[in-house]
Structure 1
Amino acid sequence: MSVHDELTSVQRCLDDLTRSVGRLEQQLGSGGLDMRRVRADADHLRESVALLRAAASAPAAPRRPDLVTIPDTPYDDSLWIDSDDEGLGARDRHAP
């Protein structure tokens, strides 16, 4: 079976699960913690399958991140005028 067929089969099973959970809610009430948890879990499964379906329809080739070129030229010294030398203290002060 193809991925599309498998996802369709999973979707059908989720639809059956949703109907069954709905019937259980009618019989047991929807206010209990256990019932709310089952409903939330079924909804999370539905969302997860939707994400899988979207990922399966995306192009198969992985997208490479854009490369950032770092120049070999030295940084402008004026960028560091207002900073302290780390671990050495400020320029106009002396260590105790």
Structure 2
Amino acid sequence: MSVHDDLTTVQRCLDDLYRSVGRLEKQLGSGGLEMRRVLVDADHLRESVALLREAVTTPPAPARPDLVSIPDTPYDPSLWIDSDDEGLGARDRRAP
């Protein structure tokens, strides 16, 4: 059996459980602590299976690209002639 088939089977059983709990709620009423707890637990199971289904159907994150090596040789100083010193402002002006 595949994971998808197993999840479908679990969902079907969970739907049956939810219907049975609904019938019990009609017979016993929803005011008791025990009944409220069963209802909350059934809701948690339903949410958990939905999250599990989503996690299984979500494609895995793409693999990290290969690392790019950066040479240790200095950059050409002409690349920086028209730029300002970062955070210091322009060369011919004063900082406030």
Question: Normalising by structure 2, what TM-score?
Answer: 0.62
Which runs of at least 4 in structure 1 moved beyond 6 Å after TM superposition? Answer: none
Residue 78 of structure 2 corresponds to which residue in structure 1? none
**CA–CA separation in structure 2 for the residues paired with 1:58 and 1:24:** 36
* C-alpha RMSD over aligned residues: 1.5
| Residue number in structure 2 paired with 1:34 | 34
Task: Give the count of matched residue pairs.
Answer: 64
TM-score normalised by structure 1 residue count: 0.62
Q: Which has the higher contact order (CA 8 A, sep 6+)?
A: 1
Unpaired stretches in structure 2, ≥5 consecutive residues: 65-96
Find the structure with the greater CA-based Rg. 2
Query: Partner residue of 1:47?
Result: 47
Residue type of the alignment partner of 1:45: L
Instruction: Give unmatched runs, 5+ long, in structure 1.
Output: 65-96
- Give the letter aligned to residue 30 of structure 1: S
Identity of aligned residues (%): 80
